[in-house]
């Protein structure tokens, strides 16, 4: 009886006789990388692809993290893991809360007092030559000790409390920012969606209107309208800014709608008998929400700078009310002798603009699937294990 010839294997032995020697070498198509959770990933065919294999391992880990989640949950998860956006959101919320609670509200003739003892119109006796009473340097470091004082941001030449003015100015500037964000987003989304969906002469008319608004310098347009109507209050200034700020968003929404209207789900909605309005606002626009939200936040960040510029030029919020820009304009001549009057509102303008920009960056990263995501602690552990295994092979 003839003996059975074993099938050829690596190292001259049968795969069944010696399994340890049958493991494919590094770089073969059958080699695998095991992650910390037991997931195994096949290696690439190339022998010099360690970075590629690790990248594929991290991608597989990320896919496992979002498996079974809705699109909204994935976006929220990515946004909450964006450290810059979360820190900026916390700072912005803190600024909103302290500005509202310290000076209270003065809306539609209804006055609600805050916890700060001065208002932006109160005149008090000048203390410490008007210098800020706020001190953050302990006495053991040679400072005046950590204290708040009666006028933490100082006083102007008339005795008005600068902290109260800055808080009121922050309220007004933030109100303008949010009104501009809401109104300009509404106008831009509606015009962009209608132009992109109907195309033809409707698109031509709306885009020529958009071009007309775009070619007019924003500062000149808003300064002219604000000078004429700003006596009616800062809300009118916000509406004027909003009506001059929508064209960029309208063009972006139009471009997105032009691509989405050719998708299969839109054809299915048409076949099902959905109206044009329902297709635009129920089926198409939810798929463009990423573009809308990101550009709205960037528009709001630009608005705070535009309002500050208008206030500095004297076309912003008019006395007796104040905004951050009008405070800078009011105290520009005191920069050399009393710089604290100039720095306080300027710092708040910069902080608000930066926080809104970082929040916009976080939203962009959350909605854009091409952005590289940061892995959480468990995922980083699995990725480190994969790298260590690749390095040891």
| pLDDT tens-place string over residues 54-65 | 566 556 655 655
Residue 336 is given by DSSP the state T
Rounded to the nearest angstrom, the gap between the alpha carbon of residue 58 and the centroid of all alpha carbons in its chain is: 26
User: Is the CB of residue 255 less than 8 Å from the CB of residue 173?
Assistant: no
Give yes or no for a cis peptide into 320 (omega within 30° of 0).
Answer: yes
254/193 Cα distance (integer angstroms): 6
Residue 16 has pLDDT above 50, yes or no: no
- In which band, very low, low, confident or very high, does the pLDDT at 22 lie, cut at 50, 70 and 90? very low
Kindly state the average pLDDT of the residues 208-233: 76
User: Is the CB of residue 316 less than 8 Å from the CB of residue 201?
Assistant: no
279/273 Cα distance (integer angstroms): 10
Residue the block writes with tokens 């880990």: 61
* C-alpha distance from residue 198 to each of 251, 259, 290 (Å): 14, 13, 22
Which of the two residues, 360 and 385, has the higher pLDDT score?
360
- Both tokens of residue 181? 């964000």
Domains by residue range for the chain, with CATH: 16-70+376-392 (no CATH), 82-122+160-367 (1.10.3720.10), 131-158 (no CATH)
Kindly state the average pLDDT of the residues 204-214: 91
Which of the two residues, 156 and 28, has the higher pLDDT score?
156
pTM of the complete model: 0.73
pLDDT score of 185: 93
The 10s digit of each residue's pLDDT in 84-115 is 999 999 999 999 999 998 888 877 667 778 88
């Amino acid at each position: 009886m003839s003996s059975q010839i074993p099938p050829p294997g690596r190292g001259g032995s049968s795969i069944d006789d010696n399994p340890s020697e049958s493991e494919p070498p590094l770089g073969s198509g059958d080699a695998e990388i095991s992650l910390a959770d037991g997931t195994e990933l096949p290696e690439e065919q190339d022998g010099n692809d360690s970075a590629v294999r690790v990248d594929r391992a991290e991608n597989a880990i990320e896919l496992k993290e979002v498996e079974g989640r809705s699109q909204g949950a994935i976006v929220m998860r990515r946004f909450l893991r964006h450290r810059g956006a979360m820190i900026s959101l916390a700072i912005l919320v803190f600024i909103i809360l302290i500005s509202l609670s310290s000076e209270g509200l003065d809306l539609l003739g209804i006055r609600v007092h805050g916890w700060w003892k001065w208002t932006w119109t109160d005149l008090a006796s000048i203390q410490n030559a008007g210098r800020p009473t706020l001190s953050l340097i302990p006495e053991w470091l040679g400072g005046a000790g950590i204290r708040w004082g009666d006028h933490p941001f100082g006083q102007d030449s008339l005795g008005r409390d600068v902290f109260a003015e800055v808080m009121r100015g922050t309220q007004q500037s933030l109100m303008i920012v949010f009104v501009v964000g809401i109104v300009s987003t509404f106008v831009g989304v509606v015009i962009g969606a209608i132009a992109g969906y109907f195309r033809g002469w409707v698109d031509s008319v709306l885009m020529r209107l958009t071009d007309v608004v775009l070619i007019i310098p924003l500062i000149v347009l808003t300064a002219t309208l604000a000078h004429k109507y700003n006596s009616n209050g800062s809300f009118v200034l916000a509406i004027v800014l909003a009506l001059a700020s929508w064209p960029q968003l309208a063009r972006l929404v139009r471009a997105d709608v032009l691509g989405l209207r050719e998708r299969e789900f839109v054809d299915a909605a048409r076949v099902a008998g959905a109206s044009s309005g329902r297709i635009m606002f129920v089926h198409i626009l939810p798929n463009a929400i990423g573009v809308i939200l990101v550009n709205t936040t960037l528009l709001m960040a630009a608005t705070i700078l535009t309002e500050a510029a208008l206030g500095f030029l004297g076309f912003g919020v008019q006395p007796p009310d104040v905004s951050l820009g009008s405070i800078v304009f009011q105290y520009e001549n005191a920069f050399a002798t009393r710089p604290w009057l100039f720095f306080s509102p300027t710092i708040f303008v910069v902080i608000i603009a930066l926080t809104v920009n970082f929040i916009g960056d976080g939203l962009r990263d959350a909605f854009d699937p091409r952005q590289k995501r940061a892995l959480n602690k468990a995922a980083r552990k699995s990725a480190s294990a994969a790298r260590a295994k690749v390095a040891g092979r």
